[in-house]
Structure formats: C-alpha cells, structure tokens
A and B are shown apart, each in its own frame.
Chain A
Amino acid sequence: MDHRAFFFQRLGLTNRDLERYLAEALLAGGDYADLYFEYHTSTSLSLDESLIKSATQGISAGCGVRVISGERTGYAYTDDLSPERILRAARTAALIASGPNKQPIVNLKDPAGGHTLYAVASPSVDAEVAAKVELLQRADRSARSYDSRIVQVRASYADELRRILVVGSDGVVASDSQPLARMSAFCIAKDGQNSARGNSGGGGRVGIEYFQTERTPEYFAHEAARQSIIQLDARETPAGEMEVVLGPGWPGVLLHEAVGHGLEADFNRKKTSAFAGLVGKRVASEKVTVVDHGTMPSKRGSINVDDEGSPTQHTTLIENGILKGYISDKLSARLMGIANTGNGRRESYEHIPMPRMTNTYMLAGQDEPKDIIKSVKRGLFAVNFGGGQVDITNGKFVFSASEAYLIEDGEITAPVKNATLIGNGPDVLTRVSMVGNDLQLDEGVGTCGKDGQSVPVGVGMPTIKVDRLTVGGTG
C-alpha cells in the first residue's frame, strides 16, 4: 500500500524535497542516509472504581535523519517539519561523517507492492469514544459479577495509528499506516487477610470490532478475575532446580528472552552476545524450531515494512535445534555480510533503528499436552507470566510466573505464588525434552524494551517441558 500521499499533502513534500534533504545529509561524506517521517495519533481510556477516570488523546509528529559512515551513525530529529528544520537535522546528523561526498543519490524508487497485513476497515483511533467506554464498562461488570471476592477492577483501552514514510539514499521509499489496539483488565481479589491479583489483555493490529466480536471485554475480565481468585489459595513456590512445564502462548516470552535478544545481529556483530559465532551449531534439542515472523496478519508484532523501509519476513532462527541465523537490519546486514531480515525497528522518530524481534515463536511438536504433564514426577507447571529480562552477554535470563501450579506424580495439584524462573539462554533449549502439538500465539500484549526503546512484539509457544530449570521460590 502506498501511504505517501498523507505526508506529501500534509507537508507539501515532493520527491525533489526528499532528495534535497538526503543530499544535505550526505554532504559531509556519509555512505548512506535515511529520513523517517512519523505522524502518530493515540487515544487511551481507563476505568477504575467503575468510573472512566482518565481519557487522553495525543498527536506526535516529527522527522529523524540518520547518516551512516562506515560503522558510525549520526542521528538528529525535529518535531518541526519545516524544510529549514529538517535541513538543520540533516546537517547535524552529517557531523558523523567527514570526507568528500562519495555516495551520489540514487533516484528515489516508487514503492513496491508489499504486504497488507492489517485488515482494518477503519482504525480504532477514529472510532467513537463512547464505543470504547462501553467496552470498559462491560469488562468492569463482568469482572465484578465473576465472584464476590473481586474487590477492585481496573480496565484500560489504548489505540494508536502510526503513519510512517521512510526514504533512503539507496532509493528506497516506503510508507505504512500501522493501526494498533489493546484492551486490558486487572482485578484484585480479597478473602479475609489474603489478597491476590490477576490481569489479562490482548489486541493487535485490529479495529475496535475485534473487541466486540472476537475477544470481548468479558473474555479478558473473566480471565483476570479467574487468575486473582486462584491466586488467593496460592502456596509457597518451591525453590531450586526442577522439571518445568510451560503452557502454550504467552510463556513463549521464554524464547524472546532466552534466545531472541541474543540473536539480534547488532550484538553478534560486536561479539557481545552469548550466541556470537554459534551459527550452524546446536543450541537446542532437535525438537525445537524457532522463527521470527513479521508477516502474520493482524498480529501485534507484525508490520508491512520495518522502520528502514524493508519488507518484513519469516525468518528461521533455530531449525531442529541448529542455530540458522540472526535478526538483522540494514547496518548489521551490510557490516556482517548477511541478509537483511527486515527487522530494523525504532520506537519513534526520536530513535535510531536497530534489529528487533517481531512475532517470535516455537513451532508445534508431536506431544499431547496431557502426556507432558503426566511425565513429570515433581515440578512446576507455569501458564502465565509477567515480564522477563536477559543479560545477552552472559546469556542469563529470567521471567516471572504470575500463574503456576505444582505437578506431583503427573497431576496438577496446587497453585503457587509468583516466582521468577532463571536460566542460561544458550543451553536452556537443549533441555527441552517434549514439545506439544498446541502452538498458540499470545493474546497481543507484549512490549519489548531494548536500549530504552519500546516496540510492540508477539511471542508464542506450544506446551513444552524443560528438564531442568531453576525456580526462585521460598519453599
């Protein structure tokens, strides 16, 4: 799809202007320059104590100019889109380079056809506020009627539309209009002296109708309420190494932390990742195949083009346990002599793009989920998680279980309290002994942080068994 018209009309831009800005950026001798125009609108609503207490709307627009010279990157941005300010940003970014202008500007190409991954009739940001309010009120009623021990309910709805135009001195011109919507519910349950929390949410590159038909407020409210009630009876989590079964869907955050970040090409180019130099080597059991898939329709981590104007792709990272390759962007692909996988992403026009994940998941295996549980003598069954974190250099990663159960003699017995699981990225997947046939993607809530930049991502996994993982309980 060609979304250039929005910028061309609003800013009175022409191809000639864009070429002039790029020429200015390369005036000091850079190898490559690009311009990133962004116009971002967002709304958010939140409900607390059955009242819509907060409603916000915002607009953020600007242009970032990047100049690359060898391994060096210069960057400047402006929120004032007048030609003088863009030229000034171009001159500032050009400071990184020194030498004669050695890269003549290629004529800008017409955008290629490309993906159309968002089947949205009209973006959620343009929907009536009253319709969003109703979703939140439905979530509130549903959660409160779930159980009389639910004492607090919060719900929120947030959507955005990000319009981008990327123009590179390699002639690439790409534009996109990326809708994103998300709904969340949060409950607190109380029983005597015990309190517990539960939360749930989802969405994607969808319109408001998604929450009226496919994933309703009642669905999320019910799930948040269910978790909080279950947690009221949670016991102490055991501590130490044990067998761990991870449920399908969001527990795929394990892959994101344990291997995903470590496979981002920038860290491997600099040889600062625990995975550096392991391409072609075994990093997982042969049952494990992991992909990064940016072109799944409507998913939160999907985009038609990345923030450097490259089309997104389906990239196999680990195939039957063997490391196949990295997640890359233009700079790392060029410097490492590898293919650009279309993973150059940035939070906004204020940020330099870098290799980032899209939707990262493990393919389904052969095992029946119930057989996986049955095979465990004493261990943990973790089905929901909060966030995670990784130190990509030593490979250590953690993720925190928000809903987990003891498995005793092949049976799921009691719920346990929140606990952190910790492991080592390069070898945790070698201990995956069973892989379920029940692959699920998460509901669409993930936000990934790297170097202070946040981008929406998806994760997914079938039920798996890890033979040995450290569980950070107290019992």
Chain B
Amino acid sequence: MPVETQERIELGAGLKEIAADVVAGARKAGATAADAIARDGNEFSTLVRLGEVETLKESGARALGLRVFVGKRAAATHTSDFSRDGIERLVSSAISLARATSEDPIAGLPDASSLGALKQDLDLYYDDVYSLSTADRIDYARRAEAAAMAADPRITNSDGGSFDAATGYKVLANSLGFVGEYRRSYCSVSAVPIAQAGGSAMQRDYWYSASRTLQKLESPEAVGRKAAERTLRRVGAHKVPTQKVPVVFDPMVSRGLIDHIFDAVNGDAIYRHASYLSGKLGEQIAGENITIVDDGTMVGGFGSSPFDGEGVPTRRTVVVERGILKSYLLNTYTARKLKLQTTGNAARGLTGNPGIGSGNFYLQPGDKDPKDILRDIPSGLYVTEFLGFGVNLVTGDFSRGASGLWIENGELTFPVEEITVAGNLKDMFRNVSAIGNDLEFRSSIAAPTLRIDGMTVAGE
C-alpha cells in the first residue's frame, strides 16, 4: 500500500474555547442559561474479504451542539459549521426556537452543587490505537479472516475480517461555570465467516475483540478461530416443536436481556409510566439472586467517563439489590420530575434534551461454571443469538426470534433456528434459576450466563 498522507491535527484542538464562547454568546443573546457540547473524532476502518482489501475508510469530523434556556423554555441547535457565521446562526436559532416551546417549571441546568468531574484517571485514552501503519491495520483484518477461513473446510465464504480504530474528544461547558473535557480511544478486530455443509443452509456468525488500547486487543488469530467455532456450531440448524423448557442464555444474549432492564429503569420511561417498573422502587422485582449495578467510574470501562452529559460526576449506582429495585437511572430533569436526585446518567447527544445513558451496566456474576448450568438440564434450549426487537416495556411482554443449540442430558447437541422465546420480563427475572461466573465486559453492558425457567419456545 502507498505511504500515509494523513497528517494528524491534535484531537479537539481549540474546542474548549469555542464551547465556552458559544455559552457566553448565548447568554449575551438573551439565554438565561445554556450549555454547549463540542465533539471531535477520527475514525479508521478497513474490511478485508477473501484476502483482498474491500474497503478502507479514514476521516475525522467535528460538531457543536448548544442548549439554551430562556426562562423556563428550552431549545437546542447543532451544527458542523464552525465558521463565525455558523456559530452566530447556532446561537440565534436556539434563542428564537426557545420562544416557541412551552414553559416547563422544572426545566434547567443541574444544581451548581452537583456539577463536577471525577478526579481519578479513568484510563480511557491510548494513542496507540492510531500507531499502526495502514498496511499493519489491513494485516490485522486479513489475519482475523484468514484464521477463520483456515479453521475448517466447511468455512466456504466470508463477510470479511475488519480492523477499526477511533478516537473521540468531548468538551462540555455551561453557564454555571462548568467546563469539562475528556478523550477516549477504541479499537477492534473482528471476523465474520460463512459455513456450509451438505445440503443445509449457509450460516454466518462473528466474533470480535475490542479495547481502548491495542495492547489489550486479542490476537486476530484468536478472534478468527472463535468466529469460525461459533459459525460451525450453527451448521445444519432446524426448528424444534413448540414447548416450555428451561432456557440458558449465552453471555452475548444475557447482555440483551439486561439491556431491557436498563430501558425499564430509564428515568424518562419511569416518569411517563412507560415502563412496567414505574412506581416499583423498593419492591421485589426480581429473584433474590439478582443484583444489577450501573458503574460509570470503572477504570478503562467502555461505559466510563469522568462526568455525564450535563456535567455531573458519574458514579456507581446499585439498581437492583437481591431482587429489590433500589434506584432508577436519572438525569437532572427526570430526577426533579420524580423528586429524586440525579444519578449522573445524563446522555447528551449533539441534539435535543439530554436523555439517559448507561455507565457500565451489569448483572453481578454467580458462582456456577456455565458447564455445570447445562449439566443440570435434561432437555432445554441454549440461546446464542436474538433476532428482532419484540419487547413491550409498558407490559414487560417479551417475544424475540432466537437461534442456538439444543441441550440434551446436560450436553449441547444439535443447532436450532427459526424459533422464538417468549415470556414476560416481570416473571423472567424472578425465574432465573442459575447464574454463571463468566461475567466479561465486551461492551458497556454485560451479564453472565443465565438460566431462566418457564419460558415458551415456539417452533413447529
């Protein structure tokens, strides 16, 4: 490959001053309060397919978002235009837009006393994610795919191997004097092999490793081999009859289950009564074996940051303790609405009012080896993938497409697909009868292997 042409400009250069200026400009233009966010980021990605480079993408982008309050009316604007004109328009549009919204007595910035940033180093940024030459990055992707292709003759095709790297910078400033900034880095390597054998349908699966530093990334070969293993075990899958059996969820899908709990304790859903957990604080909502924590302060965590989207320090919040709902996850607005305190979970995108975001959200592991969880089951389903989004948070009804492996006499046997698993979240988390010891953070949401009884598997 040719040599690099990309000269690097320091990430986020000058944005701290711009964010502070925008806030000052908004105050001058008539805002009673304001906050501004500025982002800068670089991304690199490459996909190698059947040994050849298929795509190579490299770029950077900046953006600026402003939220203003004119009395008790709020509005927000954003732009990618950093020119003087662009910034003036950002401010004037926000002020005039605010005049069109309703007075909301509790709208506003956080209390000044709640603002701040964690002092400790969260270990979120490594510039080594950008240290590789383009040729070496391509080589990572190539090696991951090659390892998958070489694993077994039944691997006949591929959606490729890829390597991605990204760095991001964020600064938040508000009219109460808060200014905070942080950088984060990310890199990942993945492989998506396709297998086919006999007359059965093609099957595809994937595996990846992600980290904030190249140093902690798993080897491309290990990723490729695991991807091949996951794909091969699906070959020859078929339906099973409709029945009620114990269902065991692989950590990659358990994570999806607790994601529903995250959505259900989201302060916005709670105050709007759009969650089956509304008004359930202090009540037993899950079995005594269930403890769920949100922790935005974990060193190196994918969901960690020194402050949230409103400039409130992140923290560790026990959401569910031994089955009792201990806390919702809140930002300033939803906390005021519910007469509670913010939990430092404000998520500030470029646009609009802050929503609710997770820190590192996880279900505390148990002490059972996943193999022993299977060993206790004479007949059941091991789910390795969900398909679709069939969850109703208002009622807790859960029905999702699934694929996985059939459990027979404590062992994984044949692959299963084109089935659904259904139940209700209210019952499902009361009926967790085994929890694995295999909690691992592959993203900001994580859960160990879970066994849930009483669910309906629909197939033939």
Interface residues of A (CB under 8 A from B): 28, 44-45, 48-49, 51-62, 71-80, 88-89, 91-92, 95-96, 98, 129-130, 133, 151-152, 154, 188, 190, 195-197, 237, 239-241, 270-272, 274, 350, 352, 386-391, 393-400, 417-420, 422-424, 470-474
Contacts and interface: CB of A to CB of B under 8 A. Distances in A.
Contacts of A58: 77-79, 350-351
Contacts of B52: 71-72
A5 to B, nearest CB: 19
Chain A CB within 10 A, most for which of B353, B390, B419, B421: B390
Nearest to A130: B100
A59 B107 CA distance: 25
B295 interface: no
B93 interface: yes
A249 to B, nearest CB: 20
A89 B6 CA distance: 9
Interface in B49-101: 49, 52-63, 74-82, 86, 89, 93-94, 97-98, 100-101
B417 interface: yes
B114 interface: no
B104 interface: yes
B388 interface: yes
Given A240-B459, A270-B159, A398-B390, A53 B104 contact: yes
Given A129-B97, A274-B201, A76 B58 contact: yes
The DSSP consensus for interface residues of chain A is: strand
A400 B390 CA distance: 6
Contacts, number: 269
A472 B399 contact: yes
A78 B59 contact: yes
Contacts of B339: none
B1 interface: yes
Closest 4 CB pairs of A and B: A472-B420, A398-B388, A398-B401, A240-B242
Chain B CB within 10 A, most for which of A55, A71, A241, A391: A55
B397 A470 contact: no
Contact of A88 (B5, B77, B78): B5
B3 to A, nearest CB: 9
Given A53-B107, A54-B76, 5 more contacts: A55-B76, A58-B351, A59-B81, A196-B394, A386-B390
Contacts of B76: 54-57
Contact of B74 (A28, A53, A239, A350): A53
A67 B234 CA distance: 37
Given A154-B272, A188-B272, A190-B273, A394 B203 contact: yes
29 contacts: A44-B352, A45-B101, A52-B101, A52-B102, A55-B76, A55-B98, A56-B75, A57-B97, A58-B77, A72-B53, A75-B57, A78-B60, A79-B61, A89-B59, A95-B134, A133-B100, A152-B272, A152-B273, A188-B273, A240-B460, A386-B390, A389-B388, A389-B389, A391-B387, A396-B417, A398-B400, A470-B419, A472-B421, A474-B399
